[in-house]
Structure 1
Amino acid sequence: MKYRPHDYQEYASEKIIELPETGLFLDMGLGKTVTTLTAIDELMFDRFEVSRVLVIAPKRVAEDTWTTETEKWDHLQHLKISRVLGTQKDRIEALQTEADIYVINRENVVWLVEQYRKDWPFDMVVVDELSSFKSNKAKRFKALKRVRPLIKRFVGLTGTPTPNGLLDLWPQMYLIDRGERLGKTISSYRDRYFYPGKSNGHVVYTYELKTGAGDAIQNRIADICISMKAGDYLKMPELTVNDIPVRLSGPEMATYKELEREKLMEVDGLQITALTAATVYNKLLQMANGSVYSDMGDPVEIHQRKLEALEEILDTANGQPVLIFYNYRHDYDQLMRKFKKYDPQTLKGQSDIRSWNDGRIQLLLAQPASMGHGLNLQAGGHIIVWYGLNWSLELYQQANARLYRQGQKKGVIIHRLITLGTVDEDVIQRLENKDATQESLMQSLKARIKRIKEEAR
């Protein structure tokens, strides 16, 4: 296929070529991969400025997206890509293969750094979904930081650089410019732009932006970071979000309320942390979906109302492909059993992605965390169903963008199954408000505990 870039893609490619360190904060669907590959091609074969490129990406993206993009576009088909995936033996063989670009999943970054250490062979590194390096305490961040001085060119790609707030930005920017703009340490960054929020003695749980700090941070990084929103550059397909209320019977709601109260009372009076809130809400979301794991690890069924609502959606889809997002293994097992006649499939590799895009899969089941980044599935369908909702705004947006993106020919419909009177309603409010902070999660849990205690009086 002949590449006819949008103006913004030409601009972004030129910036990668011009700047040795670049952050492309491009919205989902704006074509970050082909934009970056075009720049790599020129740097490698026209300007002779780089010789060996490493791409670090989520596993699914590493398996498929970068290879598919080089095969898709005429001007990139000469690029040789080696996928550093699989067993250690497979990865070593891939590294020994002559290629232009080596693609590895982010889980193996630590292994790769240990493999080479000071003999680091890649003069250009591209991190696809840089937001997965947002924790300065993560091993993958520390490993990449160690070899960063040996990297001549660095490109960070993401559509969501600050999924939980601007504190997430420092580790990503450090990898891009080695601390030149936002400071050499996370503590100096915090001291300059934030003040302590909620704390207990010397332990600070949250940090708040100082007045004007947001604009100051943006100004500091503006010379090397390009931020673009899809709505400003593309004519996006029509989007319809359809919230479908799921009503429980009296006995079912009583069972849910009893189990919910038990879970909430287990943490009542304790210090509520982000981890505590996430753990409790995971249990509550399971119950809203219809089942919950017992202490023995077995699923206990509460209701089948979401399965019934989903059955109606599939009936009215009239054979059109449907992408269903689920969160828990027991949900997946129920979906596979209930809708066996639709021959439900999951994506295990490139052949499955092609089957979906060719219209050969009627019902696709996907876990949002495994589908969040980079996969182009818009050719295969336009109907999404959120069987189980997710607290992560980033995962929610990224998952929807698998179908709602450039190249989609039909209006996209997103069905969200919401069990009334349950934690599903809290999640919807959080997603609608685009509130992705851990603080909001903790406050939401505290409010639910307070409400449950008041109802019990």
Structure 2
Amino acid sequence: MAVAGAAYQMGAIETVLIVAPTSVCAVWPKEFEDAATFKFKVNVLLGDKKQRLRELEALKAFPFKALKVAVINYESTWREEIFEALLDWKPDMVIADESQRIKSHDAQQSKAMHKLGDVAKYKLILSGTPVQNNAIDIFSQYRFLDPTVFGMNFYAFRNRYAIMGGFSNRQIVSYKDLDELIKKEHSIAYRVTKEEALDLPEQTFITRNIRMNTKDRNLYDQIRRNSFAELESGGQITAPTVLTKLLRLQQFTGGFIQADEGDKPELVFRGKLDALEDILEDYVIEAEKKLVVFCRFRPEIDLIQRLLDRRKIRYCSIYGDIKIDDRGDIVKEFQTNPKVKVFLAQIDTAGLGITLTAADTCVYYSVNFNYAAYSQSLARIHRIGQRNRCTYIHLVVEKTIDETVLKALAKKEDLAKTVVDDWKQFF
């Protein structure tokens, strides 16, 4: 953002296209709002095709002097009509956030990014892991960034730096001249390690903001209004009654609601599930790291387990129904088995007393209202035996109870004890 802002203030650019994983798209507007010292207009291109195109047209038509920024996810860049609209827009700068998403030179989204980069005056890639498993991962990212570094032809690049073997001589068995590759890579790159970032905190907290579409927002607001009306006309206000209404809102942002007469939860919102799948892609599948995921509700556990099964990611789980005597072996399996990549748990059940230092990253799919329980859960990965800095990712649906709860936890408040005094702020 600072680079784009400086370029705008120097008169070098007026338009920016930011391409990011879906769950990261909503982060960018907040970053501009919190830190930009220049005038800007940011539109996030999410929703169906018509919505995305409408947002782009609205940005183009914005009448005031400002840096115009469009944010879109990788999977949409190559879609029919959307790709053509982005190409016709000819943004002055294109930023590839988490650029390892275009490491495959022949993937549709990589090809789209190459072409979008070709029409832009300035390009930028951002990644903590530009090369995750294979040195050839760098080619496609640099084909977008600056084709003069490694050329335009993937096979010429592979022949230059890879040694082929295996079946029909089609497998990369080793590499050569990597010093030259690294030198070329660093000719236009700037790298800062965690150790060099002396002001980097030992614990890093990240919020992944998730937006609702119009249909989801209307349903959420209907539940919120009904809950408010029931409390307003319900006579004496008590903590249990307020918390019960808040639970319904929190269940919705987690993806489900259960009708009063229903016997099982109904999936109504996929925002957090899609965001978690993005995180799994980056941290578990690509970076091959272990991950801890905390949830509040059992239906969330079930949703995530189905996702992990579909992605063929091995995991272990602890929730209320798991026998206490079995939990030690489950934790040990996660800690010692390199094939088990995800520890999935209810925060009330597994937020205390266990050691999960095989992971240094923890995702909060949802949290409860108790600060003490939340604080204890932070220490599952941040304890003796942990050698890495710890990262905590909170999934937060914008303009919902999620934001209220997270703010309260940041103030070390226990919502269960304070909702009665000021219950209206939560609705």
Is the 1:290–1:306 contact (alpha carbons within 8 Å) kept by the matching residues of 2?
no
Number of residue pairs matched? 264
Cα shift at 1:233: 2.7
CA distance 1:363–1:171, change in 2 (3 Å): farther
The aligned residue for residue 231 of structure 1 is 195
Q: Report the CA distance shift for 1:382/1:47 in structure 2 as closer, same or farther (over 3 A).
A: farther
State the 1:142 CA deviation. Answer: 1.2
Q: Does 1:187 align with 2:155?
A: yes
Instruction: Give the deviation of 1:228 after TM superposition.
Output: 1.4
The 1:125–1:117 alpha-carbon spacing in structure 2 relative to 1, beyond 3 Å, is closer
Q: Distance in 1 between matches of 2:43 and 2:137?
A: 31
Output the amino acid matched with 2:378: I
Structure 1 residue 72 and structure 2 residue 37: aligned? no
Counterpart-to-counterpart distance in 2, 1:217 and 1:72: 38
- Please report how far the alpha carbon of residue 289 of structure 1 lies from its aligned counterpart in structure 2 after TM superposition: 5.0
Match of 1:305 in 2: 327
Cα shift at 1:140: 0.4
SS in 2 for 1:231: coil
C-alpha distance 382-289 of structure 1, shift in aligned 2 (>3 A): closer
Matched residue, 1:8 = none
Q: Please give the secondary structure, in 2, of the residue aligned with 1:232.
A: coil
Residue of structure 2 in register with 1:201 after alignment: 168
Deviation at 1:63, TM superposition (A): 1.1
Structure 1 residue 400 corresponds to structure 2 residue 399:
no
Letter in 1 for 2:18: V
Q: Does 1:140 align with 2:162?
A: no
- Mapped to 2, the partners of 1:157 and 1:284 lie a distance apart of 26
Q: Which residue pairs with 2:346 in the alignment?
A: 335
Q: CA deviation at 1:401?
A: 6.5
Matching residue's letter, 2:187 = D
Relative contact order (C-alpha < 8 Å, sep 6+): which is higher? Answer: 1
1:80 partner SS: strand
Deviation of the 1:307 alpha carbon: 9.0
Matching residue of 2:55: 94
**Which amino acid in structure 1 is aligned with residue 160 of structure 2?**
R
Counterpart residue identity of residue 50, structure 1 = I
The aligned amino acid for 1:87 is D
Which residue of structure 1 lines up, in the alignment, with residue 134 of structure 2? 165
Q: Give deviations 1:284-338, integer Å, cap 9, x for gaps.
A: 934x5589xxxxxxxx99x94259869xxxxxxxxxxxxxxx977xx75x73895
SS at match of 2:44: strand
Change (3 A) 1:227 1:234: same
Structure 1: gaps of 5 or more residues: 1-36, 240-273, 292-299, 311-325, 365-379, 387-396, 404-457
- Indicate conservation of the 8 Å contact 2:41/2:69, yes or no: yes
TM-score by length of 2: 0.51
- The share of aligned pairs that are identical, in percent, is 20
How many angstroms does 1:106 deviate by? 1.5
Decide whether the 8 Å contact of 1:55 with 1:125 is kept in 2.
yes
Residues 98 and 125 in structure 2, CA contact (< 8 A), matched pair in contact too: yes
* Whole-angstrom distance in 2 between the partners of 1:401 and 1:160: 18
Question: Does the CA contact (< 8 Å) of 1:124 and 1:152 recur in 2?
Answer: yes
- Could you report, residue by residue, the CA deviation over 1:215-238 in whole angstroms, capped at 9, with x for unpaired residues? 111211322111111211324445
Secondary structure at the aligned position of 2:150 is classed as coil
Query: What is aligned with 1:413?
Result: none
The answer to whether 1:285 aligns with 2:314 is: yes
The TM-score normalised by the length of structure 1 is 0.48
Q: 2:42 corresponds to which residue?
A: 81
* Closer/same/farther in 2, CA of residues 237 and 123 from structure 1, 3 Å limit: closer
Counterpart AA for 2:161? Y
Distance 2:192 2:48 in 1: 37
- Does structure 1 residue 106 correspond to structure 2 residue 79? no
Q: Distance in 2 between matches of 1:381 and 1:145?
A: 46
Structure 1 pair 236–54 and aligned structure 2 pair: CA distance change class (3 A): closer
On the 8 A contact 1:131/1:158 being kept in 2, the answer is: yes
Distance 1:309 1:230 in 2: 28
The corresponding residue for 1:256 is none
Decide whether aligned partners of structure 1 residues 132 and 182 sit closer, same or farther in structure 2, where only a CA change above 3 A counts. Answer: same
User: Aligned partners of 2:72, 2:56: CA distance in 1, in Å?
Assistant: 10
Task: Say whether the 8 Å CA contact 2:17–2:91 is kept in structure 1.
Answer: yes
When structure 1 is superposed on structure 2, of 148-157 and 107-116 the one drifting more is 107-116
